[in-house]
Structure formats: C-alpha cells, structure tokens
Amino acid sequence: MLYDSTPPYEHHSHLTFAREPLKSLYVFQRLFTTILLVPCWWIYYLVLPRSYRPRPSWSLKQIIFVNFTRRISKVTEVAGMTWGTRNPEEEAKDGDLQETRFEWIEPLPEELRCGIVVSEGNRVPFKRVGAFIWPKEAPRPIGGSATPSPQIPQFDFEATSTVPTDIEASAADASVIGIFMHGGGYTHMSAHEKARTSRIPRTLLKEKLCSQVYSVEYRLLQFAPFPAVVQDAAAVYAHVVKTFPRSKTVLIGDSSGGNLVLALARWIRDEGKLRMPDGLLLLSPSCDTSHAIPETYSSHIPRPNASTDYLTDTVEPRAILQATFLGFKYYPPDHHLLSHTDLTQRQKAVEESRQLREVVHSEYVSAASPRVLQCWGHEVAQHDLVMGIESSDGESSMAKSLSQSLSPPSGPICQSSASQASLASVIQTPYRQACRFSALFAHFPRTLVVIGDAERLVNEVRSLVKAMEKDCVDVKCHWAKDAPHDLLIIPEGWWDEGVREEAWVAVREWMKGF
C-alpha cells in the first residue's frame, strides 16, 4: 500500500530514503510513530493549563491536527513524497467526476507569447492545459452568447477606461468567473475535484459567489520549470476572457497558487495585451520565494510561528525545491562549492548560484521579498534588510526576459514625495528600469488577502499588503484569529468553524463588489 514504484525525481535523487524499499520503510515508521504520539499529545495538553498551549484558544483537536500534519510533512523532505498529484498531460475521465467537467485549453496563442512566459531558448514549451470546471453542467451565458472576441486588443492603462465599452454596458448583468490556482508549493496537489484544495472552488460555487470556476491543472516543478506555471495560467486566463467577454474575472489562489496569481496579474499588466482581471483573491499567499534561498546559511532568518503552524521551514529541502522550480541546480552556500576540485565545475557552480539568486529576487517570483520591496522604495523591517541587487552587467538570460522592452513611465502614480525620493536612491534592477509603471503594484485590481495570524507567512504577507496599500491598490486583509496556514482547505471538524466562517464572511462581503 505504501510502496511507490515511481522512480525518484531528479531533485530528490540525492535522498537516501527516496528509493524503495527504504522509502516505504521510512514513511511507515514516520506514520506509525506519529500515531503513537497522538495520545501523548492529548494527555500532555489536557493536563497543561490552556495558557501554555500553542494558542490558548486552541482545542485539543486543533493542537493534534497541527502537530500531526507538521510531523508527517517531514516525509516530503526526507523521502521525497508528494501528495495528491496527477500527470497534467492526462485527461480526466468524465465518469470519475461528480462536481466538475474537464476541458483542454489550447496553448497560449502566438500573439500573446511575450515577456516572462517566454523561456530562454524556448526550453519550456507551450502546451495545452487541463482545466476542471465547476459546476459539472455549464450554466447558460449571461448577457449574450459566449463567443470569442475576434481579436486581442492592446490596453491603455492611462486611459479613463481599461475595458471595452460593450463590456461596461453589460456590467450590471455580468456573471463572475473565477480562475483558481491550487496551492501545494508547486510540488503537491492538483486541480482535481478530489484534491484538498478543491474545498475552495466547491465553497465558491455553493455560496453562489461565482457562476463558474476554472481550476487550472498547471505543470508542477517535477514536470516543467518556471515559467511553465505562468504559461499554463495565462492560457486559461486568455481563454476565459475571450470566451466570456461580458463576465467579471477573479483570479483566486491559495498558498503557492497565490504566488502564481500575483505573477499572472503582473504579466497581464506588463504586457497589456489582455484586460486586467477584476479582482485577486489571495488565500495565505506565498509571496517571498527568495526566503528559501539565503545568501548563506547563517543569514537565514527562520519564519515566525514555528509552534503554531504545520508548515516546515528547513532551509536546504526548500531551497532544492525552489531552485528546481526556477530551472536551476541548487548548490548549498558556505561549504559545498569548495568541494569542487575542478576549476571549470566550480566556476559553473558559482555562476549558476549567482543566477539563481538573481532570478529568485525577481518581481515575478518574489513579489514581497525585502530586496524587491527595497528596490521599489517600500519600507522593509530592519531584520529583513538584504544586500543590494547586482547591476544589470552580467545579468542572466532569464533575468533579461524579466526586463522586456516596455514604454517609459507615464501618468500619475500614487506616492508620497518621501517615497519618490527613496525611489531615486535605490538600486535599479533591469526590470525596474524597463518597467513602464512607476510603482510595484500600480494598476493591480482590487484585492482581498485572507491570512491566519498563527501561520509562518505572516511577515511576507504583511509586507505585501502594506506595499499594495502604498501603491494605491484597493486591498483588504482578513486576519483569521489563531489560524494556521491555508485555513480554508483544512478538513471539516478539525478547526474552529466559527473562525473559518468569519473568513468566508470576509470573502462574501468582498465579492459583493462585483
């Protein structure tokens, strides 16, 4: 039952327990010992005064859920286990689907292949994308037939209107279509209706907050590196806005899916070939990938709330995953490079590590990293300050793709004179120099962020929200009291339903704006 005949992925090949039969043995002992710990945790926290619990408001069941999940997740770091994944190139059988219908979306059209979605040397091909569409039966179009637009217009962000007149005229009867990017660290989960993350689109349909939700089966890092995820998300977005020109479109993402939503919204804004989405719904978004790849181990700052969240923050396993996601081989800092006796190999390792650290701090990958925020004149907490960014001299090919030729800055930007002065003094990255927008989140749509105040991503999410506010984005943030990461995907009965309901109330109130 635990035996996994799938060979280990390349980024897990160095793990001793990634191969059978050691993999099954390790997973079994980890599961068995964790189950044995459950009664121990129960008795310990039953005797202990509430004030000594990870959070005084937590029940015994909540404590056990967090501890159990955190301890079991160690198998992903030690044995390379993945949870709930599927091959994105396989079509789902209709007989297996009870709540959704499966549809293939054609690859991103040629005329839209520009900017960050184009990989170096086209090493990441554009492919058709699977989408699980909620509900199973397609609703009748609202406000006219759902026919594709005859052409893809260029959008002027400085104009008084950024959407076609015929769309505005029908805004009163427009439906809301969600495009959902599932979480899982770009390694786990899928868009299938049986995935844990599908609790989110299921509830959106149940609450009638969306008429349809397209759940994107984007390629995980084990199938293709960045920018495959943006390519796939962009293909589905282009399909939706062309097929339903009268509908409001909301990009929705939890955890790493929130990271993808931010990247997709930036690409849409920067290239100006598609209309902007009408809203972003970010649920516990991961917005600082660079945190996993410190300059040195000693410079790594552990994320807070280690005892109140089930997310782990072990440096090297996370760094390997993020490097693989970005298409690089990870070379640990401090000592590993010194083991290369061959000068050529050592130089190659040093250069690849430099390029990795350059790309991981791009606005598309780490929108709320301290380095990115500094570059755009945003305030950064003192303990998050980092060294300046390398100049454009010697930039990598992928970094060059981040700085596509764009028009020069124009139009008013909502910033104080103090922030204008700070912008003049920061180091200019290639993307910053080429970007036609004078603010990091300029012209981003209205946004709702839902985050638990007991989770490990609180600092980066707080920085994201502050930066959006400064850049005049209509952003609201709901802090779920004492909640861990990704509250809305936790199985029913394992968390305080009152806290969960408060989060959904915030979502419902925000969705009324459409």
* Average of per-residue pLDDT values in the chain: 84
Structure tokens that stand for 192 in this block: 């299938």
Nearest to 326 by CA among 124, 496, 44: 124
Structure tokens that stand for 47 in this block: 């005797």
Place of tokens 């861990």: 484
In this prediction, residue 351 carries a pLDDT of 75
| Amino acid at residue number 243 | T
| Integer CA distances (angstroms), 229 to 216, 330, 394, in order | 10, 20, 26
Confidence at 127, pLDDT banded by 50, 70, 90 = very high
| CA atoms of 125 and 127, how far apart (whole Å) | 6
Minimum mean pLDDT range among 38-42, 73-77, 334-338: 334-338
CB atoms within 10 A of CB 412: 9
| CA atoms of 269 and 230, how far apart (whole Å) | 13
Residue 415 has pLDDT above 60, yes or no: no
Mean pLDDT of 149-160: 50
* Residue ranges in 207-314 assigned as alpha helix (H): 228-243, 256-271
Per-residue b/e over 466-493, b at no fewer than 16 CB within 10 Å? bbbebbbbebbbbbbebbbbbbbbbeee
Mean pLDDT of 401-414: 40
| Amino acid at residue number 416 | S
- Give residue 64's Cα distance to chain centre: 27
Structure tokens that stand for 169 in this block: 């005229």
208-258 pLDDT per residue, tens? 999 999 999 999 999 999 999 999 999 999 999 999 999 999 999 999 999
Minimum mean pLDDT range among 7-11, 286-290, 399-403, 452-456: 399-403
Which three-class secondary structure state does DSSP give residue 167? Answer: helix
In this prediction, residue 156 carries a pLDDT of 58
| CA atoms of 56 and 304, how far apart (whole Å) | 18
- Give residue 39's Cα distance to chain centre: 35
In this prediction, residue 190 carries a pLDDT of 97
The pTM (predicted TM-score) of the whole model is 0.86
Q: pLDDT over 90 for what percent of the chain?
A: 62
DSSP 247-263: SEEEEEEETHHHHHHHH
Minimum mean pLDDT range among 298-302, 420-424, 475-479: 420-424
Confidence at 134, pLDDT banded by 50, 70, 90 = very high
Residue 417 has pLDDT above 50, yes or no: no
Structure tokens that stand for 122 in this block: 């086209």
DSSP letter (8 states) at residue 452: E
| CA atoms of 384 and 275, how far apart (whole Å) | 35
Nearest to 178 by CA among 206, 209, 149, 147: 209
Query: If 0-12 CB within 10 Å is exposed, 13-18 middle and 19+ buried, where does residue 24 land?
Result: middle
478-501 pLDDT per residue, tens? 999 999 999 999 999 999 999 999
| Integer CA distances (angstroms), 62 to 53, 55, 67, 68, in order | 11, 10, 9, 10
44-77 pLDDT per residue, tens? 999 999 999 999 999 999 999 999 999 999 999 8
Residue 291 has pLDDT above 50, yes or no: yes
CB atoms within 10 A of CB 299: 11
Q: pLDDT over 70 for what percent of the chain?
A: 80
Radius of gyration of the chain (CA): 23
In this prediction, residue 394 carries a pLDDT of 42
In this prediction, residue 154 carries a pLDDT of 56
Whether 217 and 190 have beta carbons less than 8 Å apart is answered as: yes
Residue 145 has pLDDT above 80, yes or no: no
Place of tokens 């930066």: 467
| CA atoms of 416 and 465, how far apart (whole Å) | 17
171-184 pLDDT per residue, tens? 434 699 999 999 99
| CA atoms of 166 and 172, how far apart (whole Å) | 12
* Residue ranges in 102-183 assigned as alpha helix (H): 165-169
- Give residue 66's Cα distance to chain centre: 22
DSSP letter (8 states) at residue 282: E
In this prediction, residue 149 carries a pLDDT of 44
In this prediction, residue 10 carries a pLDDT of 82
In this prediction, residue 337 carries a pLDDT of 52
In this prediction, residue 7 carries a pLDDT of 79
Mean pLDDT of 385-407: 40
Confidence at 379, pLDDT banded by 50, 70, 90 = confident
Residue 112 has pLDDT above 90, yes or no: yes
Minimum mean pLDDT range among 19-33, 262-276, 420-434: 420-434
Angle 489-93-188 (CA atoms, 0-180°, nearest 5)?
Answer: 35
Whether 178 and 201 have beta carbons less than 8 Å apart is answered as: yes
Residue 286 has pLDDT above 60, yes or no: yes
Confidence at 150, pLDDT banded by 50, 70, 90 = very low
What lies within 8 Å, CB to CB, of 412 at 6+ separation is: none
- Domains in the chain, ordered, with CATH? 10-78 (no CATH), 82-138+168-514 (3.40.50.1820)
In this prediction, residue 141 carries a pLDDT of 56
